[in-house]
Amino acid sequence: MRSNRAKVRAGVSLAATLPMLAGALALGIPAAHAAGGAHRDALAGTKPAWATAGADKGAAPDSAPVNARVYLAGKDAAGLAAYARAVSDPSSAAYGKYLTAAQAQSRFGATKAQVAAVKSWLTSAGLKVTGVTAHYVSVTGDVAAAEKAFGTQLHNFKKGSGTYRAPAATASVPASLAGAVLTVTGLDNAPHKANHKDQLPPPDAVFKNAGPFSSYYGSNLATTLPTAYGQTIPYAPKGYTGRQLRAAYGAGGYTGKGVRIAITDAYASPTIAFDAGSYAKKHGDAAWTTGQLRQVLPDKYTKTKECGAAGWYGEETLDVEAVHAVAPAAQVTYVGAASCYDDDLLDSLSKIVDNHLADIVSNSWGDIEANQTPDLAAAYDQVFQFGAVEGIGFYFSSGDNGDEVANTGTKQVDTPANSAWVTAVGGTSLAVGKGDAYLWETGWGTEKAVLSADGKSWTGFPGAFTSGAGGGTSKTVAQPYYQKGVVPDALAKANSADGNRVVPDIAAIADPNTGFLVGQTQTFPDGTEQYSEYRIGGTSLAAPVIAGVQALAQEAHGGQALGFANPAIYARHGSKAYHDVTDNPTGSGLAVVRVDYVNGLDAADGLSTSVRSLGKDSSLQAVKGYDDVTGVGSPAYGYVQSYRKR
């Protein structure tokens, strides 16, 4: 499953991710096929890493139900990857020569003959075809039929605290279908969904921030409280608004006019139009025009209890309001998935690509890399490649648990942010001063210490790590060409001498202690539903902010789509396009004071006062040059300007 990432409410982080095929999905060609014997073609990565002999609990019952998707490789998978690279590379003669969705399908999609052959093979094995799209053939049946079709036995395996079905050996297809099938998903039935960890307030649980606040960074000093790092420290900002973010990231006079942005999450907030309109009016953002915000939703929702459907409402609200705050004239299309499971999220992404609903796609969800299976990684990358050839760029939040050690016990990155075909967005702590002046940023990483009982010190200062921008080196994705020469070898080769993908690529505000003010309809204790505002953060904020900045850059580029932006982002490394973010920009240590309601609503149960240190992201560090907290940095005034056509 995917987690609606990293919304961190007033300091509570939210993050998430998917395992991946080691080295198989290097930037370029999805390596779904490998030689599999004289009469079968193996589908690499279809046996999960957790399906080991030691975990094997025996054969699954023949009659157990199976629901699977057979993803189609198309007529030229290698050509798709090659063209996706060429059209995205500023140094290529094909740069910016995008195809329409119809042209992309005609040139690279599956042929009618391939689809017919796949359907015939599946039905001959005893499976029932339940759906056919441009990307896959879905089937149902039982274990016996699936074993016959895919040439492997399905066993039950112990995984964590549960037992799940999975192939006992790599799945395969008849040799006659070699090149037609990309991969198959669904043979293992472990949950593939987003872990909803943001703890955002659903409509039935109101949340408010306590004060005092700063109106801008440093405007209200905590003079009656203990010092930190040898100085009196400010109260946390109430929450930045669009005016402040646009100033910090160099919007200038650009508004995103004529640019289309899509946002994907699960489900849909029933009050989004009212909330977004109320927020814009209250904070001086341009009013939404008729048709500027629209939703593309499934016919029905599923797995609402497993996914915590109402908790996703706040994610959509944050994404929509943040995008509009930064790019107030951009068209925004929200594409809601039927659930937080991978199949449904993939369907939402495919809707955008197949119908070219937008040029820029913001995604604030994911999972840890250890949970991603190679079959799903191949399916995701194929969608991202089709997007690239059409001029569509995907932006994914990098996570809210730093190196993930505190969260999972293992140092790892998040996914799909780890894909070589998306832009991974890391997080910062942002200081915007008087007159909306940009002061500085640190990498987002928080350590928390509470006020002592006597009020004279911070207990255990600087305290324990609570949350921070996700980043680090992938264990499964090969180093993409655009990172070579920019990402230090110490990071790129941390897990392999050949080099791996390092996350993130770029960064923006994420720290909930210097976060964004968001407005959402919530249910109060008396049962009334009221519009209310609270400060929020996480890389769930950073992703839509960068999506908004990209809309400004596309407008500056004469409206021409920027497509898959990583090659262009890295080409600007070291220039005035970026703020080179470091963890201690003032040289003295940085922190803010937070005062919170214990019950999240009012002072009835008391207040909690704490100091939150900035720039303390687990084992990750923001340093000069590229780093695994902020990537190449955050956009400066020169970033949007650099896309102006001369």
Tell me the average pLDDT across 418-431.
98
3-state secondary structure of 591: strand
Burial of 113: CB neighbours in 10 Å, binned 0-12, 13-18, 19+? exposed
pLDDT for residue 198: 46
Residue 196 has pLDDT above 90, yes or no: no
Residue 26 has pLDDT above 70, yes or no: no
pLDDT for residue 219: 98
pLDDT for residue 204: 57
Domains and CATH numbers, the chain: 33-185 (no CATH), 205-641 (3.40.50.200)
How many other CB atoms sit within 10 Å of the CB of residue 174?
A: 17
For 639, phi and psi rounded to 5 degrees? Answer: -70, -60
Burial of 179: CB neighbours in 10 Å, binned 0-12, 13-18, 19+? middle
Rounded distance, CA 537 to CA 516, Å?
6
Residue 589 has pLDDT above 80, yes or no: yes
* Token output for 15: 């993050």
Residue 64 has pLDDT above 60, yes or no: yes
Calculate what percentage of the chain has a pLDDT beyond 90: 88
Q: Which amino acid is at 203?
A: P
* Token output for 513: 């202690």
Structural contact between residues 220 and 42, judged by C-beta atoms closer than 8 angstroms: no
pLDDT band at 25 (very low <50, low <70, confident <90, very high): very low
Residue 224 has pLDDT above 80, yes or no: yes
Comparing 387 with 523, the larger pLDDT belongs to: 387
pLDDT for residue 17: 33
Rounded distance, CA 469 to CA 428, Å?
7
pLDDT band at 171 (very low <50, low <70, confident <90, very high): very high
Average pLDDT score, the chain: 92
Tell me the average pLDDT across 508-532.
93
Tell me the average pLDDT across 130-149.
98
Calculate what percentage of the chain has a pLDDT beyond 70: 92
Those residues with Cβ within 8 angstroms of residue 116's Cβ, 6 or more apart along the chain or in another chain? none
Each residue's pLDDT tens digit, 326-376: 999 999 999 999 999 999 999 999 999 999 999 999 999 999 999 999 999
Structural contact between residues 209 and 534, judged by C-beta atoms closer than 8 angstroms: yes
pLDDT band at 645 (very low <50, low <70, confident <90, very high): confident
pLDDT for residue 178: 84
Burial of 436: CB neighbours in 10 Å, binned 0-12, 13-18, 19+? middle
Give the position of tokens 């923006």. 508
Structural contact between residues 321 and 252, judged by C-beta atoms closer than 8 angstroms: no
Structural contact between residues 41 and 402, judged by C-beta atoms closer than 8 angstroms: no
Q: Which of 468, 390, 471 is nearest to 425 (CA)?
A: 471
Tell me the average pLDDT across 612-640.
98
Tell me the average pLDDT across 604-618.
97
* Token output for 201: 């307030």
pLDDT for residue 35: 37
Structural contact between residues 429 and 441, judged by C-beta atoms closer than 8 angstroms: yes
Rounded distance, CA 137 to CA 473, Å?
34
* Token output for 16: 């998430």
For 532, phi and psi rounded to 5 degrees? Answer: -145, 160
Comparing 26 with 190, the larger pLDDT belongs to: 190
For 70, phi and psi rounded to 5 degrees? Answer: -100, 105
* Token output for 566: 């990583």
Each residue's pLDDT tens digit, 431-454: 999 999 999 999 999 999 999 999
Q: Enter the pTM of the model.
A: 0.94
3-state secondary structure of 398: coil
Residue 14 has pLDDT above 50, yes or no: no
Give the position of tokens 């004060």. 211
Task: Report the alpha-carbon angle 523-528-531, nearest 5.
Answer: 60
Residue 576 has pLDDT above 70, yes or no: yes
- CA dist 326 → 124, 330, 435, 578 (Å): 54, 9, 17, 17
- CA dist 486 → 480, 548, 572, 639 (Å): 11, 25, 10, 18
Structural contact between residues 153 and 59, judged by C-beta atoms closer than 8 angstroms: yes
Each residue's pLDDT tens digit, 230-281: 999 999 999 999 999 999 999 999 999 999 999 999 999 999 999 999 999 9
Each residue's pLDDT tens digit, 111-131: 999 999 999 999 999 999 999
pLDDT for residue 9: 43
